[in-house]
């Protein structure tokens, strides 16, 4: 069988790492592995078969058939981007809330006034699966065109069994039919449903939603990878968060939850104790929380769009990096933060959170893959990993972060499992 793809003679190939590392901390992030004048081969199975100097690959593969050849002369190749945190399944338009926030309303002002998540819940409950799938497909397509090849997708706008399952089924259909790789997250504890107490909502999740989910997962009808809770004052407190996350863990789900966003909640310490793979947001994390995450190898998924839109304090990326935390990035795409672009996220992470460009790229590739439990197969260009990559029409890879917007011009090819998509 012929090989799928030859990308030849790239000016730079950013491997990210080349020793099978599952994540990078500060020192490794600062010196990404970049090779010059190189070519890359993806085999018929969609996995990377060879990477090396252009002249060596030319010689080795002379006369070998490829389904497609990309001449990357003067261009750069980097791994496909990984977006470790999105809420892409929902109905209803919240553009009016952006105006409220610009006029001074906080995120919780909008939430308590019945807007925010509650508004989206009402519309998502009423929406047909086909409507949700159509909008999800459009959103994932935008993300893919902006370079994302693996994306985490949450439920969480149902807050009851039927709609949470409807959302997860829509994500499952997308996972089975679209080229983009998906990591799916049950987020039934995204808010306390109107008319319920935290205790009632927690009981419903533990006694109704999770058992039904387990049944569908064991029947093979659904694949769910992670469990999420919004651990926050006025949402789920620390003890209900603990019981929900523990129940998810017992079902074999990875813990990956919203913590320490608007108030310090000791979410980081809880996550570290439970062996969470990742915690998102962390704008209000304490020094103790940072230390606990570094020790437990719990990744921090930082979301620069949220802090930017809500004018929150910036996540403490530098403090986390200095402490040895595994820092990842996500777009937090949702009706509050309408951003499908990881290049924009990396740009914000560099300017507002003071990350370097190599740190931002590692955070949006290998470390985001680690946060999703996928860094053995995704997140770097290494032999036997998935052939997911971007070909950039630029003389240096840093242009992807430096240029703010207009990435359709810059990203010449998006490749997933060796196929140009
Ligand atoms: O990650 N913080 C909670 N959840 C989302 C916002 C969801 C919404 O406002 O619809 C977030 O920013
Ligand atoms: Fe979120």
Q: Is 324 exposed, middle or buried (0-12, 13-18, 19+ CB in 10 A)?
A: middle
Looking at the CA of 91, name the nearest ligand: 1
Instruction: Report the number of secondary-structure helices (H) and strands (E) in the chain.
Output: 19, 16
332 Cα nearest atom in ligand 1: 1
pLDDT the model gives residue 13: 98
pLDDT the model gives residue 111: 84
Cβ of residue 117 lying under 6 Å from some atom of ligand 1: yes
| C-alpha closest to that of 417 among 34, 52, 68, 36 | 68
User: Residue 40 belongs to a domain with what CATH number?
Assistant: 2.30.40.10
Instruction: Tell whether 280 and 402 lie within a shared domain.
Output: no
Element (H, E) at 109: helix 107-112
Instruction: Tell whether 283 and 394 lie within a shared domain.
Output: no
What letter does residue 225 receive in the DSSP assignment?
-
pLDDT the model gives residue 405: 84
Instruction: Tell whether 132 and 72 lie within a shared domain.
Output: no
Q: How far is the CA of 87 from the centre of ligand 2 (A)?
A: 6
Any residues with CB less than 8 A from the CB of 130 and at least 6 apart, and which? none
Ligand 2 is an ion; its neighbours by CB within 5 Å are 332
Instruction: Tell whether 9 and 145 lie within a shared domain.
Output: no
The preferred substitution site among 284, 315, 336 for testing ligand 1, maximizing ligand atoms within 8 Å of CB, is 336
User: The tokens of 386 are what?
Assistant: 């998935």
Looking at the CA of 305, name the nearest ligand: 1
- C-beta contacts of 305-311 below 8 A and 24+ residues apart: 305/331, 305/332, 305/337, 305/339, 305/344, 305/345, 305/348, 306/261, 306/281, 306/332, 306/336, 306/337, 307/283, 307/352, 308/348, 308/352, 309/98, 309/101, 309/336, 309/337, 310/101, 310/106, 310/107, 310/336
Nearest-CA residue for atom 8 of ligand 1: 117
> Which residues of the chain, if any, have pLDDT below 70?
none
Instruction: Tell whether 336 and 402 lie within a shared domain.
Output: no
Q: Is 177 exposed, middle or buried (0-12, 13-18, 19+ CB in 10 A)?
A: exposed
pLDDT the model gives residue 112: 83
Average pLDDT score, the chain: 97
pLDDT tens-digit map of 354-391? 999 999 999 999 999 999 999 999 999 999 999 999 99
Neighbour count for residue 152 (Cβ, 10 Å): 29
Cβ of residue 256 lying under 6 Å from some atom of ligand 1: no
Q: How far is the CA of 330 from the centre of ligand 1 (A)?
A: 13
Torsion sign across C-alpha atoms 152, 156, 161, 167: negative
User: Residue 244 belongs to a domain with what CATH number?
Assistant: 3.20.20.140
- Total domains in the chain come to 2
Q: How far is the CA of 191 from the centre of ligand 1 (A)?
A: 9
Distance in angstroms (rounded) separating the CA atoms of residues 115 and 109? 9
Nearest-CA residue for atom 10 of ligand 1: 117
| ipTM for this model | 0.96
Instruction: Tell whether 7 and 62 lie within a shared domain.
Output: yes
Q: Are strands 3-16 and 254-259 parallel, antiparallel or unpaired?
A: unpaired
Q: How far is the CA of 227 from the centre of ligand 2 (A)?
A: 12
The residue length of the chain stands at: 421
Instruction: Tell whether 69 and 85 lie within a shared domain.
Output: no
The preferred substitution site among 301, 337, 338, 339 for testing ligand 1, maximizing ligand atoms within 8 Å of CB, is 337
User: The tokens of 202 are what?
Assistant: 């927690």
pLDDT tens-digit map of 73-95? 999 999 999 999 999 999 999 99
Any residues with CB less than 8 A from the CB of 193 and at least 6 apart, and which? 121, 159, 160, 201
Burial readout 261-275 (b: 16 or more C-beta within 10 A, e: otherwise): bbebbbbbbbbbebe
Instruction: Tell whether 26 and 151 lie within a shared domain.
Output: no
Q: How far is the CA of 42 from the centre of ligand 2 (A)?
A: 34
Instruction: Tell whether 274 and 401 lie within a shared domain.
Output: no
Instruction: Tell whether 89 and 63 lie within a shared domain.
Output: no
Cβ of residue 189 lying under 6 Å from some atom of ligand 1: no
pLDDT the model gives residue 115: 87
Instruction: Tell whether 386 and 238 lie within a shared domain.
Output: no
Domain residue limits at 326: 81-371
Cβ of residue 156 lying under 6 Å from some atom of ligand 1: no
Instruction: Tell whether 142 and 232 lie within a shared domain.
Output: yes
Cβ of residue 87 lying under 6 Å from some atom of ligand 1: yes
């Amino acid at each position: 069988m012929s090989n799928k793809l030859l990308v030849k003679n790239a000016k730079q190939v950013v491997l990210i790492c080349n020793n099978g590392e599952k994540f990078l901390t500060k020192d490794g992030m600062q010196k990404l592995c970049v090779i010059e004048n190189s070519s890359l081969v993806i085999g018929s199975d969609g996995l990377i078969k060879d990477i090396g100097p252009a002249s060596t690959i030319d010689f080795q593969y002379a006369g070998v058939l490829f389904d497609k050849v990309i001449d990357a002369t003067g261009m750069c190749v980097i791994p496909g981007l990984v977006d470790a945190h999105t809420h892409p399944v929902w109905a209803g338009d919240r553009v009016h809330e952006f105006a409220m926030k610009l006029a001074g309303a906080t995120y919780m002002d909008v939430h308590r006034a019945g807007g925010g998540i509650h508004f989206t819940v009402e519309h998502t409950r009423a929406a047909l699966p086909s409507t949700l799938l159509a909008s999800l497909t459009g959103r994932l397509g935008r993300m893919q065109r902006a370079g994302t090849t693996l994306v985490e997708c949450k439920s969480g706008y149902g807050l009851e069994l039927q709609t949470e399952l409807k959302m997860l089924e829509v994500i499952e259909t997308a996972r089975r039919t679209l080229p983009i790789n998906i990591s799916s997250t049950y987020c039934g504890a995204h808010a306390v449903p109107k008319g319920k107490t935290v205790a009632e909502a927690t009981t419903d999740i533990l006694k109704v939603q999770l058992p039904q989910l387990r049944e569908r997962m064991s029947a093979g009808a659904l694949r769910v990878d992670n469990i999420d809770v919004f651990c926050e004052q006025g949402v789920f407190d620390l003890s209900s968060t603990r019981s929900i996350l523990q129940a998810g863990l017992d079902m074999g789900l990875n813990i990956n939850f919203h913590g320490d966003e608007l108030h310090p909640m000791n979410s980081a310490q809880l996550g570290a104790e439970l062996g969470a793979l990742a915690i998102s947001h962390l704008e209000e994390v304490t020094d103790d929380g940072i230390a606990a995450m570094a020790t437990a190898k719990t990744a921090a998924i930082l979301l620069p769009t949220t802090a930017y839109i809500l004018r929150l304090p910036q996540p403490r990326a530098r403090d986390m990096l200095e402490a040895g935390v595994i820092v990842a990035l996500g777009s937090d795409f949702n009706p509050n933060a309408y951003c499908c672009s990881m290049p924009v996220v990396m740009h914000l992470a560099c300017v507002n959170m003071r990350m370097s460009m190599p740190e931002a790229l590692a955070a949006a590739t290998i470390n985001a893959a680690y946060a999703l439990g996928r860094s053995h197969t995704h997140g770097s260009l290494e032999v036997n990993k998935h052939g997911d990559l971007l070909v950039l029409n630029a003389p240096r890879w840093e242009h992807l972060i430096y240029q703010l917007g207009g990435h359709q011009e810059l990203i010449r090819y998006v490749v997933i499992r060796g196929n140009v998509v």
